């Protein structure tokens, strides 16, 4: 349903930045934009009203700042209320085409901000969504190419040593690019990279106190550096939690799997079940990461929110709900967890005047849930309605689109890399056990 001008009314409204929700408010939508936010009693008589049942809450559309995109994911993201994502590693040409597709066809999926190809060292880990660089001159050239294509965020990957990182940061600054980094391991690499100018760290990588049992003084030592350099952290707590719980039967019977392409269900099943001692290592790391995130929050570090979709058992869109719950379990307040997935992520993506809040002249990306998630973060799962750029998205149509996507054969760069990874790791596992 795409009415040019209409109003949404619910019991509560949270605007994406305030400490509390407001009662009995209305959002007036005109085309793709929010025209006004006002008390429900002041809605003009000549406007169509969509009034939701008692207890429902209006919130800004959610933002996932760490995904690797494939076309089948679009309907799932939207059904979960995720209206914007940042792709942090994909084939550059492919993701720019997908970005244009999602922008022109609202039902295709969320708006995409993209980092282009993951920039790696001489031996790239990912062949289709990453790019290797024999030397720093090659890295500089890749950064220039990304800037010329309109990319504003770029991602450095694990194979880049500190020399490469420093040279890459020098080039990135010339083009005013935001640099995020995934160091791949827990070696103490983050501190030097942050001093060099890396803007954002993914998965808490390169921060040993986040991975191992540590004293508060050890945590604060690196947090002091992060705060001094104003570094953003995107923990993706869900990633290593799910790896550590690879044999958890709950994942197999998660009803939200219906939104997942069969190829990825197969990939998740085929991922080698890591040894017991390795699972325990990741389980322990997941607990330590929560403790570290709690300390980051206490120290008022900037926490963005991402999921690392579509790695093991991470369901597009709906895993944002899981990550929000994990933030709260780590000690983050419900309202600040929600800020991470809305206004904080919007600012991170350079979209703070467009999305992430319910305000006049902002894009009409809005979700309605049946109860107030500021009171209980798990209420975010009860999606009643999703609006993207003013278009009300019918839930049944999204299910049909998802089914159609899941019946298609996949041949996108991410899927090719994931299948290649599975074949390679299966072969390695076979050698180890033969």
Tens of pLDDT, residue by residue over 49-70, are 999 999 999 999 999 999 999 9
Assess whether pLDDT exceeds 90 at residue 189.
no
d(CA 164, CA 160): 6
d(CA 289, CA 327): 10
pLDDT band of 273, cuts 50, 70, 90: low
The residues near 138 (Cβ < 8 Å, ≥ 6 apart) are none
d(CA 306, CA 239): 10
How large a percentage of the chain has pLDDT more than 70?
Answer: 96
pLDDT band of 277, cuts 50, 70, 90: confident
d(CA 142, CA 161): 16
Assess whether pLDDT exceeds 90 at residue 185.
no
Q: How many CA atoms lie within 13 A of 202 on its CB side?
A: 24
CA-based nearest residue to 289, from 269, 303, 274: 303
Map tokens 């050890």 to a residue. 218
H/E element holding 386? strand 383-388
pLDDT band of 424, cuts 50, 70, 90: confident
Q: Report if pTM > 0.95.
A: yes
d(CA 153, CA 115): 5
Strands annotated E in 209-356: 232-234
Assess whether pLDDT exceeds 80 at residue 187.
no
Q: What is the pLDDT of residue 433?
A: 66
State the pairing for strand pair 57-60/366-369: antiparallel
d(CA 376, CA 378): 5
Q: What is the pLDDT of residue 1?
A: 44
pLDDT average, residue stretch 122-132: 96
CA-based nearest residue to 84, from 397, 364, 301, 312: 364
Q: What is the pLDDT of residues 308-326, one digit of tens each?
A: 999 999 999 999 999 999 9
Between residues 2 and 22, the one the model is more confident about: 22
Q: Provide the mean pLDDT of the chain.
A: 95
pLDDT average, residue stretch 292-318: 97
Cα radius of gyration (the chain): 21
CA-based nearest residue to 188, from 215, 172, 217, 210: 210
Give per-residue burial for 41-60: e unless 16+ CB within 10 Å, then b.
Answer: eebeeeeeebebeeebbbbb
Q: What is the pLDDT of residue 2?
A: 46
d(CA 5, CA 381): 28
Q: Is 352 exposed, middle or buried (0-12, 13-18, 19+ CB in 10 A)?
A: middle
pLDDT band of 296, cuts 50, 70, 90: very high
């Amino acid at each position: 349903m795409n009415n040019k001008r209409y109003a949404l009314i619910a019991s509560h409204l949270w605007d994406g930045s305030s400490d509390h929700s407001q009662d009995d408010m209305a959002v007036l939508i005109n085309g793709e934009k929010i025209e006004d936010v006002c008390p429900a009693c002041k809605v003009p008589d000549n406007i169509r009203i969509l009034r939701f049942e008692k207890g429902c809450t209006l919130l800004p559309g959610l933002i996932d700042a760490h995904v690797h995109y494939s076309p089948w994911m679009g309907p799932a993201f939207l059904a979960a209320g995720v209206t914007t994502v940042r792709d942090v590693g994909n084939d550059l040409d492919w993701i720019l085409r997908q970005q244009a597709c999602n922008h022109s066809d609202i039902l295709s999926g969320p708006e995409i901000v993209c980092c282009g190809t993951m920039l790696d060292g001489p031996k790239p880990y990912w062949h289709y969504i990453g790019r290797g660089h024999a030397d720093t001159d090659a890295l500089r050239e890749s950064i220039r190419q990304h800037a010329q294509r309109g990319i504003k965020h770029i991602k450095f990957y694990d194979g880049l040593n500190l020399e490469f990182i420093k040279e890459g940061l020098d080039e990135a600054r010339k083009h005013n690019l935001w640099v995020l980094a995934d160091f791949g391991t827990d070696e103490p690499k983050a501190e030097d990279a942050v001093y060099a100018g890396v803007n954002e760290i993914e998965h808490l990588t390169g921060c040993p106190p986040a991975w191992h049992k540590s004293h508060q003084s050890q945590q604060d030592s690196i947090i002091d550096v992060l705060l001094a350099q104003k570094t953003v952290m995107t923990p993706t707590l869900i990633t290593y939690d799910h790896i550590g719980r690879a044999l958890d039967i709950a994942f197999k019977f998660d009803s939200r799997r219906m939104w997942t392409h069969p190829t990825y269900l197969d990939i998740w099943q085929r991922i080698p079940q890591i040894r017991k001692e390795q699972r325990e290592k990741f389980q322990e790391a997941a607990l330590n990461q929560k403790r570290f995130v709690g300390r980051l929050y206490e120290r008022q570090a900037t926490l963005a929110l991402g999921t690392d979709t579509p790695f093991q058992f991470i369901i597009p869109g709906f895993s944002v709900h899981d990550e929000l719950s994990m933030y709260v379990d780590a000690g983050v307040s419900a309202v600040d967890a929600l800020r991470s997935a809305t206004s904080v992520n919007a600012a991170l993506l350079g979209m703070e005047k467009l999305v992430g809040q319910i305000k006049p002249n902002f894009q009409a990306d809005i979700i309605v849930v049946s109860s107030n998630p500021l009171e209980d973060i798990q209420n975010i799962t009860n999606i009643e309605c999703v609006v993207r750029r003013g278009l009300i998205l019918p839930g049944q149509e999204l299910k049909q689109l998802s089914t159609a996507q899941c019946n298609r054969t996949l041949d996108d760069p991410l899927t090719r890399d994931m299948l290649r990874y599975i074949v390679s790791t299966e072969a390695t596992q076979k050698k180890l056990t033969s």
